[in-house]
C-alpha cells in the first residue's frame, strides 16, 4: 500500500536529518501528531503536505517517490 511505503520512506529520510519526529514537524510547521500518522502510513496525505515534507527533507517529490514504487507489493 502506497501510503505505508511513503510513510516508511519519509521516516527513513527524516532519521537521516537527525531530527526527531517532533523537531521535524516543528521545523516544517506541521502538527506533530498528524506527521506521526503520516509516517505510520495512516494518512491520505495531500499534495501540499507532500510538498511541505519533501522540502523539509530537502528532496524533490520525485526523489521522495523514487524507489518506493515499482516494488511488487500487496
- Residue 51, H or E segment: helix 47-57
Grid coordinates 517529490 are at which residue?
A: 61
Per-residue x/- track, 5-44, a second copy (CB under 8 A) = -x------------------------------------xx
Closer CB to a second copy, 5 or 26, in the complex: 5
Cell numbers that stand for 16 in this block: 537521516
Binding test (CB under 8 A) with a second copy, winner from 18, 29, 46, 74? 46
Closer CB to a second copy, 22 or 66, in the complex: 66
Report the distance separating Cα 71 and Cα 3, nearest Å: 14
Amino acid at each position: 500500500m502506497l501510503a505505508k511505503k511513503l510513510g516508511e520512506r519519509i521516516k527513513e529520510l527524516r532519521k537521516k536529518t537527525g531530527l526527531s519526529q517532533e523537531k521535524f514537524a516543528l521545523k516544517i510547521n506541521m502538527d506533530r501528531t498528524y506527521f506521526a500518522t503520516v509516517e505510520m502510513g495512516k494518512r491520505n496525505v495531500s499534495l501540499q503536505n507532500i510538498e511541505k515534507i519533501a522540502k523539509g527533507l530537502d528532496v524533490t517529490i520525485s526523489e521522495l517517490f523514487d524507489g518506493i514504487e515499482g516494488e511488487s507489493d500487496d
